[in-house]
């Protein structure tokens, strides 16, 4: 099981990148967190959702929304408007 601290590696990656759109393969996301993604990331759009209760949704803390393409096993993180 992947711990919150491991997902925070992805958060730091997105924050340091800072671009409006960050495109990654699921394999690149796995490499960023240092563990394989769970099967639900490959099978359910909702895994990539905007529920801050999901401990893996660190892209929200970094100011992004995730737009996954499950078929292509890619995700685009899109920067949200600043407050």
pLDDT in tens, 2-19: 678 888 999 999 999 999
Q: Domains of the chain: which residue ranges?
A: 4-79
- Measured between alpha carbons, how far is 83 from 78 in angstroms, rounded to an integer? 15
Q: Taking phi first (over 0 means left), then psi (-120 to 50 degrees means alpha), and beta for anything else, what does residue 73 get?
A: left
Give the pLDDT of residue 2: 65
pLDDT in tens, 5-57: 888 999 999 999 999 999 999 999 999 999 999 999 999 999 999 887 887 89
Q: What pLDDT band is residue 83 in, cutting at 50, 70 and 90?
A: very low
Give the pLDDT of residue 17: 95
Residue with tokens 């992947």: 2
Tokens of 20: 């409006």
- Report DSSP state, residue 35: S
Q: What crossing angle do the helices spanning 26-33 and 4-17 adopt, rounded to 10°?
A: 110
């Amino acid at each position: 099981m992947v711990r919150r601290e491991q997902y925070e590696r992805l958060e730091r990656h997105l924050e340091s990148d800072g671009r409006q759109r960050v495109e990654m393969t699921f394999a690149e996301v796995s490499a960023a967190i240092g563990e394989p993604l769970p099967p639900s990331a490959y099978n359910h759009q909702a895994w990539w959702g905007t529920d801050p209760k999901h401990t893996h949704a660190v892209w929200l803390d970094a100011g992004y929304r995730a737009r996954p393409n499950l078929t292509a096993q890619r995700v685009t993180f899109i920067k949200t408007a600043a407050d």
